[in-house]
Amino acid sequence: MDNLNTYLFIAAILFSLGMFGVITRRNAIAVLMGIELILNSANLNFLAFAKFGGMNMSGHIFALFVIIMAAAEAAVALAIIINIYNNFKSINVDEVRELRQ
Amino acid sequence: MTGNMFIDYSLLILFLPVAAFTIQIFIGKRLPRQGDWVSIGAVIITLVLAIAMFASMLLGNDPNFSQEASFTWLDMGVFKIELGFLVDNITIVMLLVVALISTMTHIFSVKYMEGDIRYSRYFAYLGLFTFSMNGIVLANNLISMYMFWELVGVSSYLLIGHWFEKDSASDAAKKAFLTNRVGDIGFFIGIMLIFSSLGTFVFSEIFDGIAAGKLGGTVLTFAGVGLFLGAMAKSSQFPLHIWLPDAMEGPTPVSALMHAATMVAAGVYLVVRLFPLFTPDALLVMAYVGGFTALFAATIAITQNDIKKVLAYSTVSQLGYMILSVGTGAYIAGFFHLVTHAMFKACLFYGSGSVIHSMHHALHKKHDTETDPQDMRNMGGFKNKMPITYWAMLICTLAISGVPLFSGFLSKDAILAGTLSFASHNPGHFLLPVFGFGAAAITAFYMFRLMIMTFHGKPKMPEIYDDIHESPKEMTFPLVLLSTLSVFIFYTLPYFNPFSDHGWFKELVVAKDSVVPGSETAHYIAEGIHHAHYPAMALSLIVASVGIFLSWTMYFKKKISADDWAEKLKPMYNLSFNKYFFDENYNKYLYQPLLKLSSLVAYIDWDLYDKYVINGFGRVTKLLSFFTGRMDYEGLDQTIIDGIGRTTRRAGGVLKYLQTGRLQSYLLFALLGIILLVLVQSF
Amino acid sequence: MADLAFWMIVLLTIGGAAVVVLNKNLVYSAIALLFTFFGMAGLYVFLWADFLAGVQVMIYVGGILVLIIFGVMLTNRITSVNISHSSVQRGIGAVVVLGILSILVIMIYNTPWLQVEAVEPVQTVGKIGYLLMMDYLLPFEVASLLLLAALMGAAMLSRKSN
Amino acid sequence: MEINILSWIIWIPLLGMAAIAFVPRGKTQLIKIITAVATGVQFLATLGLWSQFDLSNGGFQFMERATWIPSFNITYILGVDGLSLPMVVLTGLLFFLSTFVSWNINRAVKGYFSLFLLLNIGIMGVFLSLDFFLFYVFWEVMLLPMFFLIGMWGGPQREYAAIKFFLYTLVGSVLMLIAILGLYFTCGRTFDMLVLMEVAPTALNGVMWWGIDAIKVIWVLLFIGFAIKVPVFPFHTWLPLVHVEAPTAISVILAGILLKLGVYGMLRINYSMLPGAVWWFAGALAVLGLINVIWGAMCALAQKDLKKMVAYSSVNHMGYLLIGMSAVIAAGAANGNNVLAAQAGLGGAVFLMFNHGTISAMLFILVGVIYERAHHRNIDGFGGIAAQMPIYSGIMALAFFAGLGLPGFSGFISEAMCFIGAFPVFKAIVIASTLGILLNAAYFLRAYQRIFMGSLNEKYKDLPEINRMELFTVIPLAVITLFLGIYPKPFLDLISSTMNVIIDKVANIGSIAGVF
Amino acid sequence: MNNLQSLSYYWPEIILTVTILVAIIADLFYSDKDSGKTALWVLGGLILAQIAIYIQDSEIVTTLFMGNLAFDPFASFFKTLIVLATILVIFISQKSSELDGHRTGEYYSLMAIMVFGMFLMASAIDLIMLYLAIEIVSIVSFILAGYLKGDLRSNEAALKYVIYGAFSTGIMLFGMSIIFGLAGSTKFFAIQEAMWNLEGSAQFAFTLAAIFILAGFGYKISAVPFHFWTPDVYEGAPTPITAYLSVAPKAVGFAVIIRFFNTVFGDSGAFIDPSIYTFTTIAWPQLLAVLSVITMTLGNLVALQQNSIKRMLAYSSIAHAGYMLMAIPTLSSQGVYAIMLYLVMYLFMNLGAFFVVIYVKSQGGGESFDDFKGLGWKMPIVGIVMTVFMLSLTGIPPTAGFIGKFYIFASVIKVGPQMYWLAVVGAINSVISLYYYFRVVKVMFLEGEPSETIIVPSPTVLMILFALAIPTVFFGIYWAPIADWVSRSLTLFIKVI
């Protein structure tokens, strides 16, 4: 249980699930959730490597900044999504198709 | 000026006509009388100069007389071309002939072309024609000969096409030029073959080179045949003879000039000039071509009704003689015939011109534009109306038929003797004399047919008969002069033997040995001719008599119906009448296919190659771009993608889900890209 | 016991994540995400990252998730009970994602990771604080600018008209 | 005495452009006069250059050097030799005359003449630059004005023609750019052509790229670049289209000079820098020449549009030129040091460059004259014009005869020299291509007959005769054609030293096995 | 250098930070109408920052803030480039009709923040720093792309951008975590050292990580297959922002690629031994070469299809990224040199092209090819200038674009025959690009008729036009100053002690 690969596998699965969400969900907010999963999986990696790499605190710092960044990004993304909703009355990604020739 | 009388005179002779040409082209129209006096004056001066040269040649009496002068035309270091003159006895005689005929033509044309809309231009072109021919005559090298050779072609093009409003005239002009170009190709290849081996264009150096063995064998034969191809086209030898009869579309004086002295003579002159370099094989080709042409053209002439066509084919036939004689080695005889033929053929053409002129006026008076003024079937009985023309033409007809006392007899006899001698040395080539004598008989026949149909019998068109008049003296003067010159005496002086060509000509114009190793010497050939002289004479007299007699009985006495015979020999008559369908076949098998091929090539080039291959690059790019655009922007078709996931779907939802351009497809692609990159990198 | 807890947490995390991406109802997804985030925090604890576990709960659960749920609510009429959000290209998506996953798994198996034995620190806050003030002072400061930008942007975008 | 005449020659038109920029749009006459003055002065300068030129020197004269981008070894080098001088003079002349050919342009005059002068700069620059980079820059500078001049003042399909021309030539020039860079890096990092001419022939010895001699690769890349301009057979289809669509003056420039740039490039670069590969490619060159001759002539024979026919005749004539160029290997030891043939061939090719410049310019001007009056160029749509326009038809006949290689006109000598030169090396090809002599005549005479002979087409019985301005543009060309046709020595003296330098280069490099 | 010492080398960024704060505060005092005046503050700050960069631009090469940033001429070069681009875009924005009716204070403030982020990107040598910098630039880009709140297309652009951006950086982040796992450090040089000692079996992980990271970088420079966002975002975003995105972030994107790949995979930017790249069995050069070929070909092919000039320019910017990528596999200083030079040239010509589009739109035209019909007759000056830009983008001498391409090709060909195919593909792509670039010229001049009235742009517009066009031509003729500048800047910080 407590070895590096376990965590890495968990992270990989989360990453893949996040990917899957991003690729398949039609709702922009759901896509955003997928992205959060991806970021979390990376964080898990960082922390796992930090622990098994001899308590390397750089990983912690990295994870910290990722979390900060994720918050900022989520804020902006949601602002955009809500703005879109106000304009399109839909936030299905594939229906936002003004830009098609 | 070089200080050498011959060269200086030659220069003047060469450039006076072209000066006249230049004046005529630019200001001719604005001069009084449209400037015809400029041209006439120029050629008369050349005639005087030519006579002067001729006189000094006679006085000098040197058979090996030769003068050369040249200048550097271009120089790139090693590659250097020098152009120059070669004046020897052949040149001088030929210059005189050209100057004489040219002068006569100019004079004759004054009346004949009176009132023509392009009168001054006509004279200009005559000047150009004379210039070009003089250039050929004077050339001492292949390059300038080739250049003037082509200029002759152009001049003929311009003159044949003088009445270009007529389609037939412009066609004929084009045909003449193009047919000549075919020959030019051969000529040029010949030049290249010689030059690539010997590095020179100058005749004397070429002869030296061949004598030294630098060039010989098959290559030389090919070179010779190439050069001869040029001569074939110019001298209208079979199968390149087709242009000449059509060239009758030009004004008749032009025909006279062309047939007697300039254009067609050039070919013969070329082979005479270059005789020493022809290999026996090349000569044999010449002999056969010439011989066959002589006979073949004669058979056509029999059935023609157009007076000028008859004369045209007769020219072809006579040229065949000349070539034949060169081929058999008796090239001086050929040259001799060239000179005599120039006189009487020019005269015959002037005569026919005179007749046509008169017919034309008569028809014009009756406002008859339907009737062909050149058709002999509309003539007859003109003897009384046009006595000078008649007598002049009669003399010339006798000359061409090879009747003793006239020049033609001497030259033709020499040729036939040469042929006979050649055949006796090479019995395998017995056909050559057969061609010769056969043609001689037929010549006599059709020439008398022409005379009788035109001048004897009853007028076929009595309504215009009264308006037929003798031509003005500008036109009769050349007739008289040239018919006079068709008498033997002018060629045998200082001797008076009408049966022997022994005279100044034979003494001054002598054959040179061939420089090709293994060829017979001039002396050997001359001996042969000498021996064959009397049998040939006898034979030729017989065949000429037979021809004349047949003609006499058929057309004058009408003992034998020509029509009956034509009926009886219908297929042959048709062949002859239609000139063996040469034009038709050339048109059908050469010209039209060429045009079709060119259309095809153009089609391939423009509508296939450019449209599909070249633009194809563009189109493929666009197509690619289209697909890339779709792939890139819209992702794989959603049906395919969705099809993998869900095979069934409610119909109503289909449209909704088929919407494309969604962001996630891009993301998917990016992921796929990553996978691909990983895979590529790992393996 | 610890094992059991660990695996429970793993199950919670991955199961939550699976629900997030697979569930048809957006609200359920959001709630599933909550479990995942909690699970992650748990895993962080197992990874001796106590401070980050706290941060995870605070920021992700307290901040981001709330934000997301707000988003869900704001962009759908509250009354519509079933806020469904269908998926697209699931088939090919699954294939691709499985491809990625297998590549990752292969990679993880085959790689000799850098491993150094270490003892569990009492707490990590001090170390992190030190690093933030020393080695990562600049990123720390820069992060403030990032947040400023996000703040401005979000405010600008959500402002009513101009 | 530093007057930098070459720079002046190149940049005089720039002064003209600057002057035009300040002229109000409406004053079209003034714009035209400025252009005429600029090109006239330039032409006089080229004549001055000629008068000062040392004939015995086969190298470069009037050299100018200035640093430009030292970090990449790019230098501003100009110079003129016996190969470029005739082309420079021809360029000066044709631009001067074309100004008058363009006199009736009245749409966006300012733009037209500005671009016209820009084109002039590009062309002069190519002929005079001795730095490869500079050469390439000038080479490309020509494209833009051509694009506009065709595209804005051309015929109905002008847009298509303009873009096609641009694309076609750009393909060539980008390949050329790669070759230039290849040379740069393999020959000691220099663009200086003089240095490259010294270094390149041997520097690439033994260098193999993907199992092919590097020299061949570079040679072919350069060749394609130039061949498109010439145009050599598979790359020729832009020419008819562009000619048909281009305004008269531009056709004149295009046929008169632009096509020669390709040949010039081959001689200046392919021959002088990579003489070894000439051996390898000469056979192919001759074959391409043959194809050009026959294909061009056949296509010309089938054309209905007079201008297109003339355009194809250019393809045809360029074939002779290529054949002449291939003769240069005759001078090598493998061919028995036949310097004679090499001189004939190369001299003929360069002479033909010039002659085709004058003759085709004449032809295009004359085609423009009739188009100006009848508003079409359909060969079958005329008939009997000679009666109506005797002077015009006379000059046209002259031009046609010059075009079909009639002795007495300069074209003949050069074509004959090409043939004579190549004959010892490529007998069969030369013999086959002499067929062109016939086809040449066939298409010219056919066109002449259809247009000028026969009975006068009633539609054109009021066709005005060629006017003085038009005569003024044609007569100098006709005089040159005639003069050089009668006495070519001055021209060949001009080029022979330089030709011998090139021949020596090729001859001394020894042979590489040929493609054929 | 420690944090305190570093401050003295940090003036440009400090000035920028101050500028940002001043701008934000100043904006508070402006009414909606005057909000645009914030631009003046930002401009002032940028100019000051540039002066600081110039003063600092010395031979000193060091690291700042405990090895987070590199201080080297290379970074200064890109900073200068960014400042230049930003100043130009600020001017361009003044003329954009799209921003009319929007409060633009934040617009300029955000732009300043983006500049700050890009400064950091250009000099970051720590993964954390780099990640943060990229995120700053990304987030600001998202906001700016969606700046036209009421405009559907702008909204959509922002949404697509944010999803794609987050996705790409997510992948990149995952890659970084793997690198961290392999190297145990976030510092480039430490990573490089670790990579040198990597076991063979770890190479797969390394490859994977590198590719994941490449996804993040590739997204910034819009290289295939991470380019999908480009057309939509470029088309939807306000045109000045499109212009900006196509120039500045792309430039720093290249800076990051160059620095990261040279430092981590190469000999840390010393360019001594290109073979170092191959210390793993990974065929990086070939991979990047193929990517560059696909990128430029795809960009060009799709650009052919477009009916909107703005969209065409978007795809063409993908193609240009492809051209520049060509030089990376050369693994040489020449390659980097060529890219840097190209970026300078590209800055002017691309901004110029976009500015013309903006100007035409503001004059009541549109962005499609049809809207440009006969433009050369109506506005000859604009038409001529646009022609210059198109020529330059095609790469025809004597324009700056040619010089850029010339150096790229030269660097590729210098490598030797194994790279010739790349040059040939690049060359053919240039030809393809001619077609669509000259379609613009064609519709401007070849279509339409001479018009009686001629519109001459206002002096400020003319000034901007010439400010962009004159360098485009001038640097095509005499680019020695640029070349010198680039070669002086071609010094990367090499090795930490």
B&C contacts, CB < 8 Å: 41
Q: What would the DSSP string read from start to end of B447-480?
A: HHHHHHHHHSSS-S-HHHHTT--PPPHHHHHHHH
Whether B665 sits inside 8 A of C93 (CB atoms) is no
Would you place residue D167 in the very low, low, confident or very high pLDDT band (cuts 50, 70, 90)? confident
Q: Is residue D97 assigned to a domain?
A: no
Q: pLDDT tens digits for B553-562?
A: 877 777 777 7
Q: pLDDT tens digits for B195-250?
A: 888 888 888 888 888 888 888 788 888 888 888 888 888 888 888 888 888 888 88
Predicted confidence at residue E476, as pLDDT, reads 87
- Mean pLDDT over all residues of chain B? 80
The continuous run of DSSP H or E covering B67 comes out as strand B66-75
The continuous run of DSSP H or E covering B70 comes out as strand B66-75
Predicted confidence at residue A13, as pLDDT, reads 92
Total count of domains within chain D = 1
- D25 or D50, greater pLDDT: D50
The neighbour count for residue B676, using CB atoms within 10 Å, is 14
Tell whether E314 lies on the interface with B, counting CB pairs under 8 A. no
Q: pLDDT tens digits for B563-621?
A: 777 777 777 777 777 777 777 777 777 788 888 888 888 888 877 777 777 777 777 77
Tell whether E402 lies on the interface with D, counting CB pairs under 8 A. yes
E-chain residues near B624 (CB < 8 A): 301
Q: Nearest CA of chain E to the CA of B643: how many Å?
A: 23
Whether E212 sits inside 8 A of B681 (CB atoms) is no
- Which residues on neighbouring strands pair with residue A53, listed in sequence order? C116
B-chain residues near E164 (CB < 8 A): 663, 666-667
Contacts of D329 (CB under 8 A, 6+ apart): D278, D279, D282, D335, D342, D425, D506, D507, D511
C47, pLDDT greater than 70: yes
Contact between E494 and E126 (Cβ < 8 Å): no
Chains meeting A at 3+ CB pairs closer than 8 A? B, C, E
- E250 or A54, greater pLDDT: E250
Contact between A4 and C47 (Cβ < 8 Å): no
Would you place residue B660 in the very low, low, confident or very high pLDDT band (cuts 50, 70, 90)? very low
Query: Which E positions 198-227 lie with beta carbon below 8 A of chain C?
Result: 199, 201-202, 204-205, 208
Whether B670 sits inside 8 A of E226 (CB atoms) is yes
Residue D491 belongs to what domain range? 276-516
- Lowest-confidence segment of B275-284, B606-615, E7-16 by average pLDDT: B606-615
DSSP code of residue D129: B
Predicted confidence at residue E81, as pLDDT, reads 92
Pick from E239, E216, E254: which is nearest to E309 by CA? E239
Tell whether A45 lies on the interface with C, counting CB pairs under 8 A. no
- B518 or D232, greater pLDDT: D232
> Into which CATH architecture does domain C1-82 fall?
Up-down Bundle (1.20)
Structure tokens at C12: 């919670």
Predicted confidence at residue E119, as pLDDT, reads 92
Whether D499 sits inside 8 A of B72 (CB atoms) is no
Total count of domains within chain A = 1
Would you place residue E18 in the very low, low, confident or very high pLDDT band (cuts 50, 70, 90)? very high
In terms of CA atoms, which chain A residue is nearest residue B671?
A: A19
Nearest to A94 among B662, B668, B671 (CB): B662
Q: pLDDT tens digits for C52-111?
A: 899 888 888 888 888 888 887 777 654 444 445 566 667 777 888 888 898 888 888 888
CA dist list (Å): E233 to D184, E169, E237: 41, 17, 6
Q: pLDDT tens digits for E227-260?
A: 778 887 888 888 889 899 989 999 999 999 888 8
Would you place residue B637 in the very low, low, confident or very high pLDDT band (cuts 50, 70, 90)? very low
What is the spatial distance between Cα E202 and Cα B91, in angstroms, rounded to a whole number? 100
CA dist list (Å): E95 to E34, E242, E359: 15, 14, 7
Q: Nearest CA of chain A to the CA of E475: how many Å?
A: 36
- ipTM associated with this complex: 0.85
What is the spatial distance between Cα B241 and Cα D83, in angstroms, rounded to a whole number? 45
Residues of A at the B interface, defined by Cβ within 8 angstroms: 19, 22-25, 31, 93-95, 97, 99-100
Whether B181 sits inside 8 A of D487 (CB atoms) is no
Contact between D252 and D94 (Cβ < 8 Å): yes
Interface probe, candidates E65, E114, E161, chain C, greatest C C-beta count within 10 A: E65
In terms of CA atoms, which chain A residue is nearest residue C43?
A: A44
Q: What is the mean pLDDT of residues D399-406?
A: 87
In terms of CA atoms, which chain B residue is nearest residue D240?
A: B606
CA dist list (Å): B482 to B477, C76, E257: 9, 120, 101
Q: pLDDT tens digits for D320-356?
A: 989 988 888 887 777 777 888 888 888 889 999 999 9
Whether C89 sits inside 8 A of B645 (CB atoms) is yes
Q: Tell me, letter by letter, the H, E, C secondary structure of B231-279.
A: HHHHCCCCCCCCHHHHHHHCCHHHHHHHHHCCHHHHHHHHHHHCHHHCC
Predicted confidence at residue E370, as pLDDT, reads 84
Nearest to C154 among A9, A29, A79 (CB): A79
Q: pLDDT tens digits for E26-46?
A: 888 888 788 888 888 899 999
Query: Which C positions 77-116 lie with beta carbon below 8 A of chain E?
Result: 103-104, 106-108, 110-114, 116
Q: What is the mean pLDDT of residues E274-291?
A: 64
Contact between D402 and D359 (Cβ < 8 Å): yes
Q: Nearest CA of chain E to the CA of C139: how many Å?
A: 6
Would you place residue E172 in the very low, low, confident or very high pLDDT band (cuts 50, 70, 90)? very high
CA dist list (Å): D268 to D81, D83, D218, E344: 10, 8, 14, 34
Residue A48 belongs to what domain range? 4-100
Q: What is the mean pLDDT of residues D105-109?
A: 82
C-chain residues near B668 (CB < 8 A): 89, 92-93, 96
In chain C, domain spans:
1-82, 124-162
> D182-189 long-range CB contacts below 8 Å, 24 or more apart?
D182/D214, D182/D217, D182/D218, D182/D221, D182/E413, D182/E420, D183/D132, D183/D218, D183/D273, D184/D132, D184/E410, D184/E413, D185/E410, D185/E413, D185/E414, D186/D214, D189/D73
Q: Nearest CA of chain E to the CA of B649: how many Å?
A: 28
- D101 or B260, greater pLDDT: D101
Would you place residue A94 in the very low, low, confident or very high pLDDT band (cuts 50, 70, 90)? low
Q: What is the mean pLDDT of residues D76-81?
A: 89
Contact between D95 and D124 (Cβ < 8 Å): no
Pick from B292, B502, B617: which is nearest to D164 by CA? B617
Contact between C139 and E136 (Cβ < 8 Å): no
Nearest to D492 among B75, B184, B191 (CB): B75
Q: pLDDT tens digits for B110-144?
A: 888 887 888 888 888 888 888 888 888 888 888 88
What percent of chain D has a predicted confidence (pLDDT) above 90? 6
CATH code where residue A11 lies: 1.10.287.3510
A95, pLDDT greater than 50: yes
Q: Nearest CA of chain E to the CA of D311: how many Å?
A: 23
- Lowest-confidence segment of B194-203, B365-374, B433-442, D269-278 by average pLDDT: B365-374
- D281 or E57, greater pLDDT: D281
How far the first Cα of chain B sits from its last, in Å, is 89
Would you place residue B655 in the very low, low, confident or very high pLDDT band (cuts 50, 70, 90)? very low
Interface probe, candidates C22, C87, C92, C109, chain B, greatest B C-beta count within 10 A: C92
Q: Is residue D92 assigned to a domain?
A: no
pTM to 2 decimal places? 0.88
Q: pLDDT tens digits for E372-399?
A: 888 888 888 888 899 999 989 988 888 8
Whether E167 sits inside 8 A of A38 (CB atoms) is yes
- State the sign of the Cα–Cα–Cα–Cα dihedral C91, C96, C97, C98: positive
- Mean pLDDT over all residues of chain D? 85
- Mean pLDDT over all residues of chain E? 84
Whether E32 sits inside 8 A of C162 (CB atoms) is yes
- The identity of residue B72, as a single letter, is T
Q: pLDDT tens digits for E121-138?
A: 998 888 999 999 999 999
D276, pLDDT greater than 50: yes
Q: Nearest CA of chain D to the CA of B76: how many Å?
A: 5
Q: What is the mean pLDDT of residues B311-323?
A: 86
Q: What is the mean pLDDT of residues B159-176?
A: 84
Q: What is the mean pLDDT of residues D276-290?
A: 86
Structure tokens at B223: 């070179």
Structure tokens at B506: 């034979």
Chains A and D touch (3+ CB pairs under 8 A): no
E493, pLDDT greater than 70: no
- Cα dihedral: B25, B27, B30, B35 (round 10): -60
Q: What would the DSSP string read from start to end of E217-258?
A: HHHHHT-TTS-THHHHHHHHS-HHHHHHHHHHHHHHHHHHHH
The continuous run of DSSP H or E covering E457 comes out as none
Burial call A46-67: b when 16+ CB within 10 Å, e when fewer:
bbbbbbbbebbbbbbbbbbbbb
E-chain residues near C108 (CB < 8 A): 205
Predicted confidence at residue B163, as pLDDT, reads 84
B-chain residues near A95 (CB < 8 A): 659
Whether B178 sits inside 8 A of D442 (CB atoms) is yes
Chains meeting C at 3+ CB pairs closer than 8 A? A, B, E
